[in-house]
Amino acid sequence: MKEIKEHRKDSKARKAQSVLGSPSHRAEGDQIVFRVHKGVKTFALSKKNNRLVTGGMDRIIRMWNPYMPGRPTGMLRGHMAPVFYVHISEEDKIFSMSTDNTVKIWDVEDQTCLFTACSKNSGIKGEISACHYIPGVRSLCVATDTLAILHLRLRLPPDPHLVTSHKKPVLCCKFNEVFRHVVSCCEGSVVKVWDFDSGKHLFEFGNAHGGSAVTCLTFDPSRRRLITGGRDGCLNVWNYNNGHCLHTLKREDESDEVCGCTYVEVNKNKYIVGVGWDRRINLFYDSTENFHHFQKPQAHWQDDMNRGHKEDILCIAQCPPTLLATSSYDGEIIVWNMISGHICHKFHASVAAASVSTKPVDASVSRVIFLKTRAVKFESAAASLVSNGPQGHLYFWSLRTGDPLIASFAPSRGKSLITSIAVTADDSYLYAADEDGYVYVHDIKDYALQDPEQEAPKYVNHWRAHLNLVPSLEVIDEENILLSCSTDRTVRLWSLDGEYIGTFGQAEPWEIFTPSSWKHPMVPYEILIDPQSMPIHPVLEGKPSDSQLTEQEKRTQDPATPKEAISNPRLSPAPVTSEDIQDEISKRLYANTSSRRLKHERSKLLNRRVSHGGPNTYRTINYYEIDSFPGNCRKPDLSLLGTDIFSANYKGAAE
């Protein structure tokens, strides 16, 4: 009876526990316990990869093997607050979020952080109440005071052959001859400093203009300060060696884009000049005694207010001591006297349009440059100002009264717009780059000196330097080097003859004074494989080839050739020889033997046919008549040899 009463008491106690909701103890064989310092706040399990991930108050994400609870297989550190949520994606990536609204993506194999989005970048604010990852749309949903959805965007894997200098399109670059640095700026508001002699990356700083693109740059005369202009409407003065912003120059209550800037000195007064979409010339006084961080421009010139540009100013150039040139979106070019602030000349590039078209023509002038050796000679009638303009033309302007346009021509063979211009120090050679990335070189030493020119200057060379538009070119005369940058995110060095030195950001450094360390005779890989880099065939251009011209000249000079054949070449086609046919077959056979062959490599014709001395595949076989052969054959007389070979062989066989 006593045992029955005790059993009833135990059953009643168990019923009471079940009613009160007290958990029952699980057998040790039915559970695995993972012990974590400060506990676990969230976890995720992947059955596919047999992986368990936990996160908690100690800000560490731990990876476990579910069957080995004693020690984690990996620990991911990086969060600065307790981990609130973890998830293992199908791509075997870990998504985590902490209580400070920071989202991180981790690579499981490398155990490294691939991506971080803080609260400022994602815009998520408030206390987290829930978080969920949606695999179908690759989005992370976060519920705080509001509901936020973060979409995951994947980038294509970079080409191993592709070398870039910036992550965003490069808009400007310049050489500092004092420190032998190259400074480049991009749309991502990043300024990078490179070593000119080796191409190595020295320093960089971001958010130069609060995330806005950096559109232009220049240096002060000492080359110790960098001046940049951006789309936020500001001019910033930097100590670019440490990324410290010394001054911010801006018009009050204006945020129009700055397109060009330069540093001028007038009557021992120094100014930083900026132009842009506000259509005004803004002069900021530069003084070492001014310690204010924010500065406003000086009063505008009277001519600038009354007779200045009516459209956005796109470019600025100076010619010491007094001349300043600006160009605008409507094609107007104005030359200013910096001492008086008066307008000296006004030009309009659309006047020199080469042809009339029914389609709307871009009349903007985005580049002007002075030929300084000519501009200092005020009495000279030679063209001393060069600009780009409509329909891919370059314009040469004279600063004397009368007809200012001396010459114009289109350097680009593809009729592309010219986007950048540079000249050597002696104004002998002009370098022009177009929107397709080509650089054209012309000899202008004796061009447009006095009388109007009807022809283009002497062509010297051309090559493709970039895939896309080239916004900046600079000739470094002391080293005979050309510096270029492009919206294809690269900054490159070339010799003045077009030899490829290298791309800033490449793994292999160069020695600028050792040509053997240059990339030449190689070319950039992306240019090599681009179809637009192929040379234009004369047949496609509709022009006769050199061989056709030579053949036509021979027929013209030959007195035996009738006049009908000269006037109509079809009546006397050139004979096709066997060598011509063999060359054509070889071209077709070996056209695809080297799909990624570099220009400097020698072609290896692996499919070369072995010559056996017989007829080729394209020749007919010669035939000959055979004489009748007599039926009776007499034994030859071998007595002259002193022995009978047939008799000797017969006797040997009989023995």
Of the candidates 1, 86, 5, 3, the residue with the CA atom closest to the CA atom of residue 42: 86
Collapse the DSSP code of 46 into the 3-class scheme (helix H, G, I; strand E, B; otherwise coil) and give the result: strand
Lookup: tokens for 271:
């100014």
116 belongs to a structural domain: yes
Q: Which residues pair with 508 in a beta bridge?
A: none
Burial of 117 (0-12, 13-18, 19+ CB in 10 A): middle
Does residue 521 have a cis bond before it (omega within 30 degrees)? yes
Q: How many domains does the chain have?
A: 2
Q: Which letter, b or e, does each residue of 14-48 get, where b requires 16 or more Cβ atoms within 10 Å of its Cβ?
A: eeeeeeeeeeeeeeeeeeeebebeeeebbbbebee
Contact 372, 317 (CB under 8 A): no
Q: Considering 151, 172, 198, which residue would you say is the last residue of a domain?
A: 151
Query: Quick check: is 548 in a domain?
Result: yes
Q: What is the spatial distance between Cα 92 and Cα 108, in angstroms, rounded to a whole number?
A: 7
Element (H, E) at 573: none
Residue at 18 is within a domain: no
> Collapsing DSSP states into helix, strand and coil, what is residue 421?
strand
- What CATH number is associated with residue 63? 2.130.10.10
Which pLDDT score, from 0 to 100, does residue 22 have?
60
The pLDDT value given to residue 596: 34
In a domain, 39, yes or no: yes
Token pair for residue 440? Answer: 């054209």
Question: Is residue 363 in a domain?
Answer: no
Q: How close are the terminal C-alpha atoms of the chain, in Å?
A: 130
Peptide bond into 321 cis (omega under 30): yes
Q: What is the pLDDT of residue 307?
A: 94
pLDDT at 114: 86
Q: Give dist(CA 175, CA 177) in Å, integer.
A: 6
Residue where one domain finishes, among candidates 107, 134, 151: 151
Residue 445 counted as domain residue: no
- Distance, CA of 476 to CA of 174 (rounded, Å): 10
d(CA 179, CA 223): 8
Domain residues for 603?
A: 536-625
Q: How far apart are CA 506 and CA 195, in angstroms?
A: 12
Sheet holding 214-219, edge to edge: 214-219, 226-230, 235-239, 244-249, 294-295
Task: Give the span between the Cα atoms of 512 and 481, in whole angstroms.
Answer: 9
Contact between residue 297 and residue 248 where contact means Cβ atoms under 8 Å apart: no
223 within a domain of the structure (yes/no):
no
Tokens (6 digits) for 48: 């596919």
Tell me what pLDDT residue 517 has: 95
Q: Are strands 332-337 and 323-328 parallel, antiparallel or unpaired?
A: antiparallel
Region for residue 558 given its phi and psi (left: phi exceeds 0; alpha: psi -120 to 50; beta: otherwise): beta
Per-residue pLDDT tens for 311-328? 999 999 999 889 999 999
Please give the sequence-ordered ranges of beta strands (E in DSSP) within 280-401, or none if there are none.
282-285, 294-295, 313-319, 323-328, 332-337, 343-348, 368-370, 383-388, 394-398
Query: What is the three-class DSSP state of 527?
Result: helix
DSSP-derived pairing of the beta strands 112-117 and 103-107: antiparallel
Q: Which amino acid is at 584?
A: E
Give the number of C-alpha atoms closer than 13 A to the C-alpha of residue 614, restricted to the C-beta side. Answer: 6
Sign of the Cα torsion 241, 244, 249, 254 reads positive
Q: Rounded to whole angstroms, how far apart are CA atoms 115 and 150?
A: 13
Tokens encoding 317: 């150039």
Amino acid making up residue 622: N
pLDDT in tens, 581-616: 655 655 454 444 333 333 333 333 334 444 444 444
Q: How far apart are CA 339 and CA 246, in angstroms?
A: 27
Q: What is the largest CA-CA distance in the chain?
A: 145
Name residues of the chain where pLDDT drops below 50: 1, 351-356, 537-541, 561-574, 587, 589-618, 650-655
Place of tokens 């421009």: 297
In angstroms, the CA 307 to CA 336 distance is: 11
Place of tokens 């190259």: 182
Domain-ending residue, one of 92, 125, 151: 151
Predicted confidence at residue 562, as pLDDT, reads 46
Copy the structure tokens of residue 43: 């976890």
216 touches 258 (CB < 8 A)? yes
The verdict on residue 400 lying in a domain is no
DSSP string covering 160-188, please? TT---S-SS-EEEEEEETTTTEEEEEETT
